[in-house]
């Protein structure tokens, strides 16, 4: 018998809360518009939180991946005072860390590259750019995603004049796949004739990162070795790729400790610190948006709960007269509030995720690549953070509602029954 009496109150609270939810009279009551506003506030808050996290993380990852595509995670160069993008002093490929960096775990790939400034010459235009020389060891995975026309060059066989040109340069110089152009490489001695190579455009890429697209075209490193009079086993620098970006600082330090003393290393976060400092601001913005949205949702739910309590004052008095405890009645209203919160979360998730999938597949919102480094708003969709947002919002809102629900303990049964 005791067990039954312990179970009945819990069922009774659910039963009354359910009756309050489905009751028709509340739809025409004073609380009806306030409840709708509260549900709408929660839904809009969830939409804002989902979209801000998805676009914030998506933008960070997209920008980061594009910087990595052109530089690797860590660059290994010779110790010198050269601050330009051009490779000046060669490094031998005969290194313990090449082609496999066995002394440091978490390294996925190492490739040798070189770059040299040259002038593209056409019948009508001149354009100064860097030719990035790559070889058979080059990782094309990023550029497979960037490729929009033509094909990727193949430098695994004999030396060739194929190059990959950015869409930005192709538009400026009116290049199409299959076009040929001359590139002039000047020498340190101005009295000597420059090196002139005729290149063939085999592919056009678009990374959306205009700072890089405007500077680089990708060609055969063996041309630069010949121009610079380097040996076949010499490169300008090494680009190191790691498995997990979150370990970058740790791996960058390990890499620095495991290379010869005549070589230097630099991570992309150090080389492009202004870009990475800029994208770190997104984290603060995301936290700020989440905090404000939960606060707004909580305040609206507090208002709705207080109005519900005011409307049901006579019912509260009746329940107290029948022997219900304050906590039992408080739980009744908290169950009711939970339903309203879950309803708002449901619509917020439907609309928020719908908006994200629409952006992912239909690119509804373009961005200025000169400002944001991407041509459209990228989204990162993970049900992990969606579930965390829902659970966190529900728990925090309920905790905020514990305080206003305390007013139930101050309601006198006799006065409540007489309340009109």
- Per-residue pLDDT of 196-232, as tens digits, reads 999 999 999 999 888 899 999 999 999 999 999 999 9
Q: Is residue 133 classed as helix, strand or coil in its secondary structure?
A: strand
> Do 303 and 209 reside in the same domain of the chain?
no
Q: What pLDDT is attached to residue 371?
A: 80
- Name the percent of the chain lying above pLDDT 70: 91
On whether residue 100 sits in a domain, the answer given is yes
On whether residue 378 sits in a domain, the answer given is yes
Q: Among 226, 261, 296, where does a domain finish?
A: 261
> Do 105 and 231 reside in the same domain of the chain?
yes
> Do 223 and 322 reside in the same domain of the chain?
no
Q: What pLDDT is attached to residue 23?
A: 64
Nearest CA-CA partner of 378 in 388, 364, 390? 364
**Among 105-114, 374-383, 388-397, the least confident range:** 374-383
User: What is the DSSP code string of 220-280?
Assistant: EHHHHHHHTT--TTEESEEEEEES-GGGHHHHHHHHHHTS-TTEEEEEHHHHTHHHHHHHH
CA-to-CA distance for 302 and 38, rounded, in angstroms?
9
> Do 246 and 285 reside in the same domain of the chain?
no
Over the chain, what is the mean pLDDT? 89
On whether residue 52 sits in a domain, the answer given is yes
Number of domains into which the chain is organized: 2
**Using the 8-state DSSP alphabet, how is residue 376 labeled?**
B
> Do 247 and 302 reside in the same domain of the chain?
no
CA-to-CA distance for 374 and 207, rounded, in angstroms?
8
Q: Is residue 194 classed as helix, strand or coil in its secondary structure?
A: coil
On whether residue 71 sits in a domain, the answer given is no
Q: Among 235, 261, 287, where does a domain finish?
A: 261
On whether residue 248 sits in a domain, the answer given is yes
**Kind plus residue range of the DSSP H or E element containing 397:** helix 383-405
Q: pLDDT-derived band of residue 39, with 50, 70 and 90 as boundaries? A: very high
On whether residue 342 sits in a domain, the answer given is yes
Q: pLDDT-derived band of residue 2, with 50, 70 and 90 as boundaries? A: very low
N residues, the chain: 420
On whether residue 272 sits in a domain, the answer given is no
- Segment 186-200 mean pLDDT: 89
> Do 109 and 49 reside in the same domain of the chain?
no
CA-to-CA distance for 243 and 146, rounded, in angstroms?
21
Q: Is residue 74 classed as helix, strand or coil in its secondary structure?
A: strand
**Kind plus residue range of the DSSP H or E element containing 112:** strand 107-121
> Do 251 and 153 reside in the same domain of the chain?
yes
- Full residue range of the structural domain in which residue 113 is found: 80-261
Q: How big is the chain by its Cα radius of gyration, in Å?
A: 32
Query: Rounded to whole angstroms, what are the CA distances from 102 to 93, 99, 319?
Result: 15, 9, 73
> Do 89 and 189 reside in the same domain of the chain?
yes
On whether residue 92 sits in a domain, the answer given is yes
CA-to-CA distance for 149 and 151, rounded, in angstroms?
7
Tokens of residue 390, six digits: 């829902």
> Do 406 and 292 reside in the same domain of the chain?
yes
> Do 93 and 238 reside in the same domain of the chain?
yes
> Do 140 and 247 reside in the same domain of the chain?
yes
Q: pTM above the 0.85 mark?
A: no
> Do 104 and 162 reside in the same domain of the chain?
yes
Kindly give the pairing relationship between strand 162-166 and strand 107-121: unpaired
**Among 28-42, 256-270, 393-407, the least confident range:** 28-42
Q: Is residue 100 classed as helix, strand or coil in its secondary structure?
A: coil
CA-to-CA distance for 118 and 182, rounded, in angstroms?
10
**Using the 8-state DSSP alphabet, how is residue 379 labeled?**
-
């Amino acid at each position: 018998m005791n067990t039954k009496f312990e179970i009945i109150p819990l069922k009774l609270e659910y039963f009354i809360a359910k009756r309050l939810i489905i009751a028709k009279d509340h739809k025409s009551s004073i609380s009806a518009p306030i409840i709708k506003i509260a549900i709408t506030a929660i839904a809009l808050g969830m939409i804002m939180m989902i979209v801000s996290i998805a676009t914030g993380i998506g933008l960070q990852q997209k920008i980061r991946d594009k910087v990595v595509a052109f530089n690797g995670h860590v660059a290994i160069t010779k110790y010198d005072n050269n601050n330009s993008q051009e490779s000046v002093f060669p490094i031998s490929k005969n290194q313990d860390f090449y082609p496999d960096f066995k002394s440091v775990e978490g390294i996925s790939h190492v490739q040798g590259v070189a770059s040299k400034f040259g002038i593209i010459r056409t019948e009508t235009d001149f354009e100064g750019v860097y030719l990035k020389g790559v070889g058979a060891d080059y990782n094309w995975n990023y550029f497979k995603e960037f490729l929009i026309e033509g094909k990727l060059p193949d430098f695994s066989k004999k030396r060739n004049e194929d190059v990959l040109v950015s869409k930005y340069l192709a538009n400026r110089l009116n290049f199409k796949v299959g076009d040929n152009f001359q590139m002039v490489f000047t020498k340190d001695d101005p009295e000597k004739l420059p090196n002139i190579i005729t290149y063939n455009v085999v592919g056009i890429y678009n990374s959306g990162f205009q700072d890089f697209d405007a500077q680089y075209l990708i060609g055969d490193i063996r041309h630069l070795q010949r121009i610079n009079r380097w040996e076949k086993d010499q490169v300008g620098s090494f680009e190191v790729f790691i498995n997990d970006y979150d370990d970058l600082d740790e791996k960058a330090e390990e890499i620095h400790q495991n290379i010869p003393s005549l070589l230097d290393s630099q991570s992309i976060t150090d080389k492009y610190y202004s870009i990475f400092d800029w994208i770190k601001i997104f984290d603060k913005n995301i936290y700020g948006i989440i905090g404000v949205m939960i606060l707004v949702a909580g305040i609206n739910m507090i208002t709705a709960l207080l109005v519900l309590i005011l409307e049901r004052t006579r019912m509260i008095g009746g329940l107290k007269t029948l022997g219900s405890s304050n906590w039992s009645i408080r739980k009744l209203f908290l169950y009711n509030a939970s339903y309203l919160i879950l309803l708002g979360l449901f619509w917020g998730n439907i609309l928020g995720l719908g908006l994200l999938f629409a952006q992912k597949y239909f690119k509804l919102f373009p961005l200025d690549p000169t400002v944001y480094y991407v041509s459209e708003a990228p989204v990162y969709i993970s049900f992990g953070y969606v579930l965390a947002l829902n659970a966190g919002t529900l728990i925090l809102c309920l905790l905020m509602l514990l305080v206003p629900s305390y007013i139930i303990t101050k309601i006198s049964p006799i006065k409540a029954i007489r309340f009109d």
